[in-house]
Each structure stands twice: as structure tokens, then as C-alpha cells.
């Protein structure tokens, strides 16, 4: 599904990713953990195609295709989905209108007609029920005045609607209370299948109690310095990141 | 009607040029250029007008000659040469006894191009329609249906003949001939326009609509609209405008007068899409328009406008809230791109007690354009408990355009409550990336964000117009992002 | 002879009298020409739409006061912030009053414009700064033509001026009607900090017209807090033209408290020539009778990454008229500008008028600019609440008005001055309560 080879990336001439290697296969869940400033969010943005980030070496293959030259929306059409750590507000554009526009843009890229209105309605209804989203919520302006929990739930709602191949969840657990975390995690678990893959980016192990990762990677100073199974996450929770830093710096 | 989607829109927008920029070769009867008393008389004679009307025009002409073109607006342009314009142009095949079947097939074909096939409109949209090409009204549909309710909807030239008492009573009472330079000019030379009267207690069952088009080169368009809503009546009125693409500047100086008597309500919506000039700022329509309405007791006037066209716009649809408890509203979207300049806004004059006004103005500037909001909220000393809320938001796209806000607030009564807010912002790169990540390309993302920004105003438009307006917003801003 | 002619024809005599060889002779000559061409502004000028000078210009002002009128400190002590140590530059009928002043040349210059114009050691500063930020409009030009006396303050690099500077202009009424044109120049160099209080006070009921120009230069990292107390008597009118030129990382604030006077017009202009600075313009206006106060502000954002904050509160009683005409211009280059402007007004009487015209002219796209303007009344339910707690109506009203103006008052950084202003407000509102809540 996703293969990252020796990826180096920088922003405003400042080098942030310094040689990432990662392979994610269909059906797998990977967690990327690490201390603040280690480059986790940068990695997510680079995969999604944010223009401020410059790839200086290495490559990213999505289903064996190098996606470096693809614009953000083209990557999205190929099934990359990023759940943002800080989703932006778009005043006056309702959640429904936004997702409708997104779905039809993706369909168009695949050469499909617009989704008929009634089918769209049905889909919105079923996905919003799954995530326990109130109907009123759907008519509100996108992310405007949303609480932290509502924003994250909205991100997962969009993911459910778009059914991506590769979902990258950037700090989706931050700012969520336990109920919201459970709902969001449930949603992600239901969307998981043998054909798609999930990358969880998180600072804490908490989310991993709800979404079981197959692999856990520790990102530090722009590199993956340790990989392991779910047990590694527990170890990090107990011992913090200092021992990793010491190991690396030793 | 079916929901309009962003993709419908995309499909229709394959061409980036001004899509109404065709010129239809129809035979025209055009006066020689220039303006003097003889021309004014000739226009009046052409229309077979009664003497009082001729005199009224001549007086206006006298006033106009003494007036100077105003220069306080935040717009810069070469002043039109008023002696180089033809003041009357009409398609020759207009017959006073016309029916739709008699209309010149070329004309009908033109309406089709404009997306306003008279037949279709008639059947599908339940809109009574008057079409003014160059200066003359060429087709009024649905006359009969309206007549059954006692509603008069006809070209003003006919109204002068058929209902002189109404025209005489109201014409020039809201916008006096000497009100301003362009109003005086219009009063002297207007050749047609629409007239509408809704009798007491009648709710007009359909939207009334006028479509204006300047076709002939070197002509000015000076239409005059007069809408009278008698006590307790209601009417919703739509107005649309297009012109061919031409290298020279064309002048459009219209006057619209609205009278809402006790308990009446008038909703007046405009989608203005005169030719804005090309990307280098050559050509385009000078749109100098005076629009004003008078509210008697408990009456309400609501102006909604979507201004995307014209090279220069100078326009302030206003409400005189004379009657107690009357309400004035102004909802506006003004988009400027390339070298367009717009100076537009409203005046809310609170005279009566418990009068209320609301102003929502959304300005979007792109390219090298300049977009100004200019508004006046005035509360007289007798206007107890007057309320006003104003919100003016500007969105800037690119770094070569300007957005300006000039609100004037004058309060002379201690019970007045006035709130004015204004903001200026831009489309964030993070907003665009967010849309991109969901598969929405940049151009569509901008359309989406701009539509969101304009939503409060778009919502006020009748459905048929809202669709067209959204489409226009997108056309107007195409190519504005690098 | 009308005032304009009188002024123009007095010019030659004035220059001969002061010093024809003065360094600024050419500037003065140019300025009188400008004034002669343009004359006094009228309501036809957009900037003067809501303020007419007609009735004021009718007086037969004497332009050069003839006799000296000695006043004692005890007569005017109450107009000083006297409970703290300050530098004082005091003028009586336009002439420097050394016995009331405390000037200095000790590391900083706090002295007189007249000596700065005449002494060689100030030559360079005058050359670099005099008339450099003042605009060339008619009233400013009129002042420039007759520029001779006023405060001259120069704070060199890295000085924290340890006590506030007071500039006081008294007029004694020795003339039937007096026109004054003080000219102040304030230059604050890199990394220095100064606080200045300015006040104009007439000691009689004879008409006074003051056309004042103040140029303020805040160089790199300078901090300037400027306070204007406008509480003159009912026959005194003031046209205050203040121009502020800021350099990078400087902070300049001008606070204007307008309670008195017949007609007061404040032309307050800020030009931001540098990055990462902020400008603050605050005002509280409380007037009644037939008083007229007009705040005409300009903040010109020229370079990126700067801020401006304007907050003007007005309370208008009787037949008073208030005008707020605030303009913010953001140049194309001035990206990341944050400009905020707020004007809130309360009308207490049916005959009072407020005209407000907050304007934004924006040419840059990555900016946050907003303005808000409200006109309203005191909150009835708050009034009721206070009265139900036993506070009499008059005091309750005063408390609410004080609360309305409070955020501007909070920005006064000299405690004694704040106390004084609170006293003036209580006095103006006719109540005897301390507002030190």
C-alpha cells in the first residue's frame, strides 16, 4: 500500500525528516509515536502533499506509484486521507455541502457521475448515525465554533464518507474526552478492512487501547528509531521517551 | 427545482470569457449621437408622450446641464463624453401590438443565449418577464394572468399612455430629477423601463422580472423603473443585466423608484452582470444607478444585489423609512476582478418611529480591482427607537486589489441603537489545503469558500436567482488565483 | 478684515519680528503660501463634513498678544499634576513662563522650541525632524508659518525618563480674543521611554482659539505615552494637529480625554515606517451643552507585521455633538497587519448628535482589520439593578458611564493622572463619588 524510502523533507530550509523508511501493507494499522517536535505531523503533511514541505531526498510510493509530483487533491483521489490535528474553519460552508463537494470531486476524478441526491442523503445518514452525530450538526458551518471533540468527530465522519485506502490520523485523540474517544475509535475500527490501512499518529498510548496497532514506530529527530509491536507503546507509556533519546544519543 | 451542484457549475464554465458577450445583429433604429433639447423632445415624440411628460423631461434636462458629474466616489475613470452617446436605440421590428409570436426570431434567439427563452421562462418558472434591449421594452409576458389580479406590469412607455394618473403621481417623487447628475440625465432621456403597480391587499402570485441588455454599440442605456405597492400588497421583483463585450465604455444610468405604501412589502433583487471589460481593463459598462425606495407605515423594502459586472459601479440602493415601524434591508455581494471598480452600498434614512434597518454587505476583490462599501445610516431626531445593524465584510484575493469601507453614521436621537461591524480577511492557505486533501481542487475550493463567505446574502435571493448568482460569482473570480 | 487676511498680512511682520534668517524661514514662507491658497477648511471638505469652524472664525482674534500677564503658581496649581515630580514646560499667552517651568538639559533636552530654532546645537535635529511628518494641509501650514514657540523635547538613546513631562498652555484673557499656535517637537531616540501630558487652559471667559501642531518621532524601540487633557472652559476652542512617525519596534500611544471646550477638533495621524510596532489611539469624550468634539484619526500602515488599536468612547448630553472620523489605510506591502478600531457612543439627550465614520482602506490581503461602531443608551436593566441596591439614579448613571469608559481609563499608566481624570469625570457627570473601584 504505502512504501516510504529514505524520505528527507524540509520546511523553509529547515530539515525535519531525515531518512524515514516505512512500509504499510493493506489491512494493517501502524502507530507512529514520538516526543513533541520529532516530525510526526510533518510526516503526515508530506504524505498528504502539503506544498510548504519540500522533499529533498527519497520517495513515497502509494501502491507502487511515486506520488511526489501529485497535487494534494490528486493524492486524495488516490485514496489518501488525513485527519487533521487542527481542522480549519470554513465559514458559511455547511458540513453537508462540504462533504458533498468532496465526494463528487473524488467521483469525478474516477470518471463517475455525481452521486444522486437520495443516495448521498442515505450515506450521510448512516455514517452520521455510526458516529453519533446529530443532524443539526450537519448544517453548521464547517468546524466553525466546533468543540475539540466535534472537530475530530467531523474528521472521522469525512473519513467514513470518503472511504480512503490509507487513512492518517494526526493526533486524533488530543482534546477528546473518554466518550468521544470511544466513539471515534469505534468509527475507525468499523472502517478498517483487509483492503485499507491506517496510520495513527499520537503522543500517548491511550488511543491504542481502542484501536489496536499491528506495529508501533517511534519517531525521534526526524527518523524512525525503534519499531515493535503494541507492547512498545506500553513501554513508552510507562517509561516515557527519555530512554529512547538516551539510546539514540548514546 | 433540482439542487444545483458545484459540478453543474463547472460544466457550464468551460469558457472563461464573458459568456454574454455576443452581439446580435438585429436592425436598430438609433438616434444620432449627442444630447440637446431636440433629442429630448425627439425621444418624447418617438414615444408619443403627452405634453406633461415632455415638459418633465425638458425640466430635467435643464437641471442636468447645470450639474457636475460627481467625483466623491472611490472610483477613477475617464468621464464619458455625453455628446458621443446615442440616447435612443431600438430594435426596429418592435411593434406596439406585438405578441410573442411576432417578436423578431433573432431577438428570441438572443434571449435563448441569455438563458432566458421567453417561452420557457413563462412555462417553467412562473415568472412574468419584461425584457429591455438597448432602450426599448420588447416583450412582456404573463400580462393577462397579472391583469386578473389587477396587477399592472408593463413597459413604462405604455404606462405613461395607459395609466398616466399613476405615473404622474409617483414618477420622480422618490428620486427627484435634480437628485444627482445621473438621475437628472436619466429623467431627461430615459426611453423605457418597467412599470409595476400592485393594488391594495394583493400578493403578487409570481416573481416579476425584467431583463436588461445593451446590444447596440455607442449607445447608452437609461431605463426607468417604477414599482408601486399599494397598501397591504406584496411583490418580489427581479432584475438582470447583460451587455456585449466591447472595447469602448458604455454608459448605463438607470433610476429605480419603489413606493411601499402602508403595510406593503417590496423585495427587489438584482443580478448585475454588465460587461466588466477585458482582463486588461479595456471596455466595460459604466454603471451609474440611482435606486431608492420609500416605506410608509409598517412597510418593508428589501434590496438584494449581486454585483459582478461593470467596469465602474456607482450604486446605492436606499430606503427612506418614513412610516412608523417600517423596515429597510440591504443585502449585497459585490465582486470585482481584473480592473473593475465598485463603489456601492446603501442609505438607510430613519424618519419614522420604531424603524429598523439591516445592512449586510460582502465585498470580494481580486485581480487589480478596487471594491468600496459606502453607506449611510441616518437617524433623525424624531425617529424614536430606531434600530440598525450593519455588517460589512471584505475578502481580498491577491495582493494588488483593494477593499475599502466608508460607513457614515449619523444619529440625532438618544433612543437610537446602531451597530456597525466590518472585517477584512483573505482565503487562508490552510483552508485551501484542507479542501485539497479532501480531493477538491484549488479553483473549486475557492468557489466553495467564496460561496460560504457570501451565504448570508445568497440566501436572500429567490431560488432561480441564487443559482445564477453562484454561477456568476465563480465566473467572475476565474483566473484570479495564481 | 477676516481672520485669513489678517493672518496672511501679519506674516511679514511676524517673521521680521522673530528672525528672518532663521533656519526654517523657507519652510514658513512655503507654508503661508499654502494657507493663503487653501484658506480655512469648510464643510465642503470631506474631512470637515461634520465640523464647521464658521462661528469660531468670526471672532477678532489678536494674533500677537501685547501685554505680559503674570500669573502665580498658586493660581494655576490645580491644573498641574502636582502630587508627583514632573518636568514642566509652561506657556502663558503663548510665551514661555520660566517661573512655572522645570526644564532640563541634563542628558535629555526638555526645553523650548524658540531656543531650539535659534541655537546651533539643535540645528541638526531641527533639520532632520522639523515639519517632516506634519502634513501640508491648510491648518497645519498655518501653524508652520507662525511656528515659533512650544515644547522641544529630545530624548537621546537608551534613556528612561524618570518623571513625566507636562506641557501646559495658559491663556489669561488679557486680550479680548486670542489666537495661539503652539508648535511642539518631540523626538525619542532608540530604546528610550517617555511619558508626556499636554493641557490647554484658558483662565478667563474670553474666546481663545488654539491651532496646535505636535510632531512626535518614535525611533527604533522607543516607547512614548502621550496624554491630552482637554477640559478647557466654554469659550476656548482647540484644533489639535498631532503627527506621529514611528520606526521599527516602537510603541506609541496617544490618549485623548475631551471633557471641556467649545469646539475641539483632534487631527491625530500615525505613520508606521517600520516593522513590528504598535500604535494605540484611545479617547474618552464626555460633553454636554453645545460642546462639539471631533476626533479625526488616521493610522497609515506602511510596512508589514504591525498593529494598531483604536478605542474611542463618547457620552453626549444636552445639545452636544460628537464626531468620530477614523481612517485606517493598509498599504499593499503591509502584510500581516492587525488593525482594530472601535467607536462606542452613548446619547443621553434628544438634542445630542453623533456622527461616526470609521473607514478602512485596505490594499494588502493577509491582514486582520476590523472596525466596530455602536450608538446606544445606558442599559435599563443595569440601571434598575443598581437602583434596587439603593444607589440613587444620578450616581447609578454615573457609575454605568464610568464603566462604559473604563477600559480606556485603565490604559492610563500614570496613577496620579488616572486619579485626576477620574476626578474630572466625576465632576463632569455631576457626582461626588470616587471611581477607584
3-state secondary structure C188-208: ECCCCEEEEEEEEEECCCCCE
What gap in Å lies between CA A85 and CA A174, rounded to an integer? 8
DSSP string, C303-333: SSS-EEEEEEEEEE-TT-EEEEEEEEEE-TT
Q: Tell me, what's the pLDDT at B41?
A: 87
Chain B residue numbers touching A162 (CB-CB < 8 A): 438-439
What are the two backbone dihedrals, phi and then psi, of residue B23, each rounded to the nearest 5 degrees? -120, 130
For residue A148, tell me if it sits in a domain. Answer: yes
Nearest to B411 among C46, C361, C375 (CB): C375
For residue A135, tell me if it sits in a domain. Answer: yes
DSSP string, B78-93: PPP-TTSSBS-EEETT
- Residue C429, domain extent: 378-437
At B245, list the grid cell: 463585450
What gap in Å lies between CA B174 and CA B183, rounded to an integer? 11
For residue C301, tell me if it sits in a domain. Answer: no
Q: Among the listed ranges B454-463, C61-70, C83-92, C384-393, which one has the minimum average pLDDT value?
A: C61-70
Q: Tell me, what's the pLDDT at B129?
A: 59
> Where would I find the H helices in chain A?
40-48, 72-77, 95-109, 117-130, 135-138, 148-162, 178-191, 230-239, 242-249
- With CA atoms as reference, report the closest residue to B407 among B425, B390, B428: B390
Chain A residue numbers touching B454 (CB-CB < 8 A): 92
- Which whole number is the average pLDDT over C306-316? 95
pLDDT in tens, C342-358: 999 999 998 999 999 98
pLDDT in tens, A98-139: 999 999 999 999 999 989 888 998 999 999 998 888 888 888
Kindly state whether residues C40 and C188 are assigned to the same domain.
yes
C160 Cβ contact partners less than 8 Å away, ≥ 6 residues apart = C192, C193
Residue C224 has pLDDT above 70, yes or no: yes
**Closest-approach residue (CA) in chain C for B416:** C376
Kindly state whether residues C265 and C382 are assigned to the same domain.
no
Longest dimension (CA), chain C: 71
Boundary residue ending a domain (C237, C256, C273): C273
Residue ranges of C 15-54 with Cβ closer than 8 A to chain B: 46, 50
According to DSSP, the β-strands at A53-62 and A65-66 are antiparallel
**Closest-approach residue (CA) in chain C for B380:** C353
**Closest-approach residue (CA) in chain C for B396:** C365
Inter-residue contact B15 to B25 (CB < 8 Å):
no
Sign of CA dihedral C45, C50, C55, C61: negative
Burial class (CB in 10 A: 0-12, 13-18, 19+), A89: middle
What are the two backbone dihedrals, phi and then psi, of residue A168, each rounded to the nearest 5 degrees? -110, 115
Burial class (CB in 10 A: 0-12, 13-18, 19+), B217: middle
B165 Cβ contact partners less than 8 Å away, ≥ 6 residues apart = none
For residue A43, tell me if it sits in a domain. Answer: no
| Average pLDDT along chain B, 482 residues, taken 10 residues at a time | 42 43 59 81 87 91 88 83 77 48 56 52 48 56 77 88 92 90 90 89 85 66 91 90 66 91 95 81 86 96 90 92 96 90 93 96 90 93 93 88 90 90 86 94 89 88 75 71 50
**Containing H/E element for C373?**
strand C368-376
Query: Is C360–B408 a contact, with Cβ atoms under 8 angstroms apart?
Result: no
Kindly state whether residues C45 and C187 are assigned to the same domain.
yes
Q: CA–CA distance from B444 to each of B6, B122, B436, B440, B481 (Å)?
A: 8, 33, 9, 6, 11
- Which whole number is the average pLDDT over C108-134? 93
What's the domain count of chain A?
1
What gap in Å lies between CA C165 and CA C87, rounded to an integer? 5
For residue C386, tell me if it sits in a domain. Answer: yes
What gap in Å lies between CA B280 and CA A239, rounded to an integer? 66
Query: Is B455–A92 a contact, with Cβ atoms under 8 angstroms apart?
Result: yes
- With CA atoms as reference, report the closest residue to C203 among C111, C286, C100, C322: C100
Q: Tell me, what's the pLDDT at C352?
A: 93
For residue C110, tell me if it sits in a domain. Answer: yes
Residue ranges of B 423-452 with Cβ closer than 8 A to chain A: 428, 430-431, 433-442, 444, 448-449, 451-452
Q: Among the listed ranges B28-32, C69-73, C131-135, which one has the minimum average pLDDT value?
A: B28-32
What's the domain count of chain C?
2
For residue C121, tell me if it sits in a domain. Answer: yes
Q: Tell me, what's the pLDDT at B120?
A: 44
Q: How far away is chain C from the Cα of B76, in angstroms, using its nearest Cα?
A: 16
Inter-residue contact C167 to C194 (CB < 8 Å):
no
What's the CATH number where A63 sits? 3.40.50.300
DSSP code of residue C120: G
A113 at interface of B, judged by CB pairs closer than 8 A: no
For residue A45, tell me if it sits in a domain. Answer: no
Residue C250 has pLDDT above 60, yes or no: yes
Chain B residue numbers touching C50 (CB-CB < 8 A): 410
At A184, list the grid cell: 471515534
- Residue A131, domain extent: 2-33+50-249
Nearest to B424 among C356, C367, C376 (CB): C367
- With CA atoms as reference, report the closest residue to A168 among A76, A59, A68: A76
Place of cell 418633465: B56
Burial class (CB in 10 A: 0-12, 13-18, 19+), B72: exposed
- B/C Cβ contact: 3+ pairs below 8 Å: yes
Angle subtended by helix axes C393-409 and C415-429, to nearest 10: 150
Q: Tell me, what's the pLDDT at B11?
A: 43
- Which whole number is the average pLDDT over C77-96? 92
For residue C106, tell me if it sits in a domain. Answer: yes
For residue A220, tell me if it sits in a domain. Answer: yes
DSSP code of residue C48: G
pLDDT in tens, A149-158: 889 999 999 9
Inter-residue contact B412 to A51 (CB < 8 Å):
no
Q: Tell me, what's the pLDDT at B106?
A: 59
**Containing H/E element for B285?**
strand B284-295
How many beta-carbon pairs under 8 angstroms link A with B? 85
State the CB neighbour count (10 A cutoff) for residue C390. 8
Boundary residue ending a domain (C238, C273, C308): C273
On average, the pLDDT of chain C sits at 91
Residue ranges of C 344-383 with Cβ closer than 8 A to chain B: 345, 347-377
At B298, list the grid cell: 409598517
What gap in Å lies between CA B88 and CA B134, rounded to an integer? 8
Residue C244 CA, chain-centre distance (Å), reads: 11
Query: Is B449–A93 a contact, with Cβ atoms under 8 angstroms apart?
Result: yes
Task: Region of C263 please: left (phi>0), alpha (psi -120 to 50) or beta.
Answer: beta
The order of strands in the sheet holding A215-220 is: A80-83, A166-170, A197-202, A29-33, A215-220, A223-228
To probe the interface with B, which of A45, A71, A72, A124 has the most B CB atoms within 10 Å? A72
Q: CA–CA distance from A213 to each of A159, A198, A206 (Å)?
A: 18, 9, 12
Residue A81 pairs in a beta bridge with A167
Chain B residue numbers touching C323 (CB-CB < 8 A): none
Kindly state whether residues C126 and C252 are assigned to the same domain.
yes
To probe the interface with C, which of B414, B419, B477 has the most C CB atoms within 10 Å? B414
What are the two backbone dihedrals, phi and then psi, of residue B56, each rounded to the nearest 5 degrees? -60, -45
Boundary residue ending a domain (C256, C273, C290): C273
pLDDT in tens, A227-239: 999 888 888 888 8
Nearest to C362 among B397, B403, B421 (CB): B403
Inter-residue contact C209 to C169 (CB < 8 Å):
no
pLDDT in tens, C265-276: 999 999 999 999
Q: Tell me, what's the pLDDT at C221?
A: 94
- With CA atoms as reference, report the closest residue to C244 among C219, C215, C222: C215
ipTM of the complex in this document = 0.89
Chain B residue numbers touching C328 (CB-CB < 8 A): none
Query: Is C358–B405 a contact, with Cβ atoms under 8 angstroms apart?
Result: yes
What gap in Å lies between CA C136 and CA B13, rounded to an integer? 52
Inter-residue contact B409 to B418 (CB < 8 Å):
yes
Residue A193 has pLDDT above 60, yes or no: yes
Query: Is A105–B452 a contact, with Cβ atoms under 8 angstroms apart?
Result: no
Amino acid at each position: 500500500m504505502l512504501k516510504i524510502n529514505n524520505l528527507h523533507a524540509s520546511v523553509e530550509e529547515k530539515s525535519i525528516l531525515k531518512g524515514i523508511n516505512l512500509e504499510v501493507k493493506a489491512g494493517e494499522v501502524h502507530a507512529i509515536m514520538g516526543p513533541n517536535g520529532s516530525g510526526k505531523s510533518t510526516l503526515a503533511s508530506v504524505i498528504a502533499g502539503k506544498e510548504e514541505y519540500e522533499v529533498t531526498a527519497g520517495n513515497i510510493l502509494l501502491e507502487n506509484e511515486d506520488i511526489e509530483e501529485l497535487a494534494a487533491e490528486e493524492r486524495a483521489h488516490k485514496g489518501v486521507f488525513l485527519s487533521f490535528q487542527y481542522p480549519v474553519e470554513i465559514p458559511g460552508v455547511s458540513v453537508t455541502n462540504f462533504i458533498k463537494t468532496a465526494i463528487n470531486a473524488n467521483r469525478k476524478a474516477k470518471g463517475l457521475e455525481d452521486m444522486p441526491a437520495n443516495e448521498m442523503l442515505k450515506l450521510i445518514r448512516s455514517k452520521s448515525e455510526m458516529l453519533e452525530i446529530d443532524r443539526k450538526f450537519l448544517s453548521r458551518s464547517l468546524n466553525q465554533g466546533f468543540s475539540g471533540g466535534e472537530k475530530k468527530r467531523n474528521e472521522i465522519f469525512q473519513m467514513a464518507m470518503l472511504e480512503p485506502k490509507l487513512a492518517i490520523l494526526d493526533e486524533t485523540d488530543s482534546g477528546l474526552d473518554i466518550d468521544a474517544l470511544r466513539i471515534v475509535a469505534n468509527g475507525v475500527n468499523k472502517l478498517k478492512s483487509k483492503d485499507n490501512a491506517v496510520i495513527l499518529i499520537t503522543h500517548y498510548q491511550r488511543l491504542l487501547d481502542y484501536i489496536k496497532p499491528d506495529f508501533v514506530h517511534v519517531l525521534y529527530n526526524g527518523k524512525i528509531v525503534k519499531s515493535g509491536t503494541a507492547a512498545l507503546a506500553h513501554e513508552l507509556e510507562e517509561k516515557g521517551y527519555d530512554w529512547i533519546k538516551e539510546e539514540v544519543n548514546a | 427545482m433540482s439542487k444545483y451542484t458545484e459540478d453543474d457549475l463547472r460544466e457550464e464554465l468551460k469558457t472563461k470569457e464573458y459568456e454574454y458577450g455576443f452581439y446580435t445583429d438585429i436592425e436598430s433604429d438609433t438616434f444620432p449621437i449627442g444630447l440637446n433639447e431636440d433629442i429630448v423632445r425627439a425621444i418624447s415624440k418617438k414615444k408619443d408622450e403627452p405634453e406633461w411628460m415632455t415638459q418633465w423631461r425638458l425640466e430635467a434636462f435643464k437641471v442636468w446641464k447645470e450639474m457636475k458629474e460627481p467625483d466623491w466616489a472611490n472610483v477613477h475613470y475617464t468621464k464619458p463624453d455625453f455628446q458621443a452617446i446615442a440616447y435612443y436605440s431600438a430594435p426596429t421590428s418592435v411593434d406596439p401590438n406585438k405578441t410573442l409570436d411576432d417578436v423578431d426570431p433573432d431577438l428570441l434567439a438572443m434571449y435563448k443565449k441569455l438563458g432566458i427563452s421567453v417561452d420557457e421562462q413563462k412555462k417553467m418558472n412562473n415568472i412574468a418577464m419584461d425584457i429591455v434591449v438597448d432602450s426599448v421594452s420588447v416583450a412582456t409576458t404573463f400580462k393577462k394572468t397579472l391583469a386578473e389580479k389587477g396587477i399592472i406590469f408593463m413597459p413604462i412607455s405604455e404606462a405613461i399612455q395607459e395609466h398616466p394618473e399613476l405615473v404622474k403621481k409617483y414618477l420622480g417623487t422618490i428620486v427627484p430629477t435634480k437628485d444627482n447628475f445621473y438621475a437628472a440625465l436619466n429623467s431627461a432621456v430615459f426611453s423605457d423601463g418597467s412599470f409595476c403597480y400592485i393594488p391594495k391587499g394583493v400578493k403578487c402570485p409570481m416573481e416579476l422580472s425584467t431583463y436588461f441588455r445593451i446590444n447596440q454599440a455607442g449607445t447608452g442605456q437609461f431605463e426607468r423603473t417604477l414599482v408601486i405597492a399599494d397598501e397591504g400588497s406584496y411583490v418580489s421583483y427581479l432584475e438582470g443585466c447583460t451587455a456585449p463585450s466591447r472595447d469602448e465604455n458604455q454608459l448605463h444610468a438607470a433610476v429605480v423608484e419603489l413606493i411601499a405604501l402602508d403595510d406593503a412589502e417590496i423585495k427587489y433583487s438584482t443580478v448585475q452582470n454588465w460587461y466588466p471589460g477585458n482582463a486588461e481593463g479595456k471596455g466595460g459598462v459604466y454603471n451609474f444607478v440611482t435606486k431608492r425606495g420609500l416605506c410608509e407605515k409598517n412597510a418593508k423594502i428589501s434590496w438584494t444585489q449581486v454585483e459582478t459586472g461593470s467596469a465602474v459601479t456607482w450604486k446605492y440602493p436606499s430606503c427612506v423609512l418614513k412610516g412608523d415601524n417600517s423596515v429597510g434591508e440591504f443585502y449585497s455581494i459585490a465582486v470585482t476582478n481584473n480592473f473593475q471598480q465598485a463603489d456601492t452600498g446603501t442609505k438607510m434614512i430613519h424618519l419614522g418611529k420604531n424603524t429598523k434597518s439591516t445592512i449586510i454587505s460582502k465585498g470580494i476583490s481580486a485581480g487589480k480591482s478596487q471594491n468600496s462599501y459606502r453607506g449611510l445610516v441616518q437617524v433623525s431626531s424624531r425617529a424614536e427607537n430606531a434600530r440598525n445593524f450593519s455588517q460589512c465584510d471584505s475578502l481580498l484575493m491577491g495582493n494588488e486589489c483593494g477593499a475599502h469601507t466608508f460607513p457614515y453614521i449619523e444619529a440625532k436621537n438618544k433612543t437610537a441603537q446602531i451597530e456597525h461591524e466590518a472585517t477584512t480577511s483573505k482565503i487562508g492557505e490552510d483552508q485551501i489545503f484542507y479542501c485539497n486533501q479532501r480531493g477538491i481542487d484549488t479553483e473549486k475550493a475557492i468557489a466553495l469558500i467564496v460561496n460560504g463567505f457570501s451565504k448570508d446574502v445568497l440566501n436572500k435571493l429567490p431560488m432561480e436567482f441564487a443559482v445564477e448568482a453562484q454561477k456568476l460569482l465563480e465566473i467572475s473570480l476565474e483566473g484570479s488565483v495564481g | 478684515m477676516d481672520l485669513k487676511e489678517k493672518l496672511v498680512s501679519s506674516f511679514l511682520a511676524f517673521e521680521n519680528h522673530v528672525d528672518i534668517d532663521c533656519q526654517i524661514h523657507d519652510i514658513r514662507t512655503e507654508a503661508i503660501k499654502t494657507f493663503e491658497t487653501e484658506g480655512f477648511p469648510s464643510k465642503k471638505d470631506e474631512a470637515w463634513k461634520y465640523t464647521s469652524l464658521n462661528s469660531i472664525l468670526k471672532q477678532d482674534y489678536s494674533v500677537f498678544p501685547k501685554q505680559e500677564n503674570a500669573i502665580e503658581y498658586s493660581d494655576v496649581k490645580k491644573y498641574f499634576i502636582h502630587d508627583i515630580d514632573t518636568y514642566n514646560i509652561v506657556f502663558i499667552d503663548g510665551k514661555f513662563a520660566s517661573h512655572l517651568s522645570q526644564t532640563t538639559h541634563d542628558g535629555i533636552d526638555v526645553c523650548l522650541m524658540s531656543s531650539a530654532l535659534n541655537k546651533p546645537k539643535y540645528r541638526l535635529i531641527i533639520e532632520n525632524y522639523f515639519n517632516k511628518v506634519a502634513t501640508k494641509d491648510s491648518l497645519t501650514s498655518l501653524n508652520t508659518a507662525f511656528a515659533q514657540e512650544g515644547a522641544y523635547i529630545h530624548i537621546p538613546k537608551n534613556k528612561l525618563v524618570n518623571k513625566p513631562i507636562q506641557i501646559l498652555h495658559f491663556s489669561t484673557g488679557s486680550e479680548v480674543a486670542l489666537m495661539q499656535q503652539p508648535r511642539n517637537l518631540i523626538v525619542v531616540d532608540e530604546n528610550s521611554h517617555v511619558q508626556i501630558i499636554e493641557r490647554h487652559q484658558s483662565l478667563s471667559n474670553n474666546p481663545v482659539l488654539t491651532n496646535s501642531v505636535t510632531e512626535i518621532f518614535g525611533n527604533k524601540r522607543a516607547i512614548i505615552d502621550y496624554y491630552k487633557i482637554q477640559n478647557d472652559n466654554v469659550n476656548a476652542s482647540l484644533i489639535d494637529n498631532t503627527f506621529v512617525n514611528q520606526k521599527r519596534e516602537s510603541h506609541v500611544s496617544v490618549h485623548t480625554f475631551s471633557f471641556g471646550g467649545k469646539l475641539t477638533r483632534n487631527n491625530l495621524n500615525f505613520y508606521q515606517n517600520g516593522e513590528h510596532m504598535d500604535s494605540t489611539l484611545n479617547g474618552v469624550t464626555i460633553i454636554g451643552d453645545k460642546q462639539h468634539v471631533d476626533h479625526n484619526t488616521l493610522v497609515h500602515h506602511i510596512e508589514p507585521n504591525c498593529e494598531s488599536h483604536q478605542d474611542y468612547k463618547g457620552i453626549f448630553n444636552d445639545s452636544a455633538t460628537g464626531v468620530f472620523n477614523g481612517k485606517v489605510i493598509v498599504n499593499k506591502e503591509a502584510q500581516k497587519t492587525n488593525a482594530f478600531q472601535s467607536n462606542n457612543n452613548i446619547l443621553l439627550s434628544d438634542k445630542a448628535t453623533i456622527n461616526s465614520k470609521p473607514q478602512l482602506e485596505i490594499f494588502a490581503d493577509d491582514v486582520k482589520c476590523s472596525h466596530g461602531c455602536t450608538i446606544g443608551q445606558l442599559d435599563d436593566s443595569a440601571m434598575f439593578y443598581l437602583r434596587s441596591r439603593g444607589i440613587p439614579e444620578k450616581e447609578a448613571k454615573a457609575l454605568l458611564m464610568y464603566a462604559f469608559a473604563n477600559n480606556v481609563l485603565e490604559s492610563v499608566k500614570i496613577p496620579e493622572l488616572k486619579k485626576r481624570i477620574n476626578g474630572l469625570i466625576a465632576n463632569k457627570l455631576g457626582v461626588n463619588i470616587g471611581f477607584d473601584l
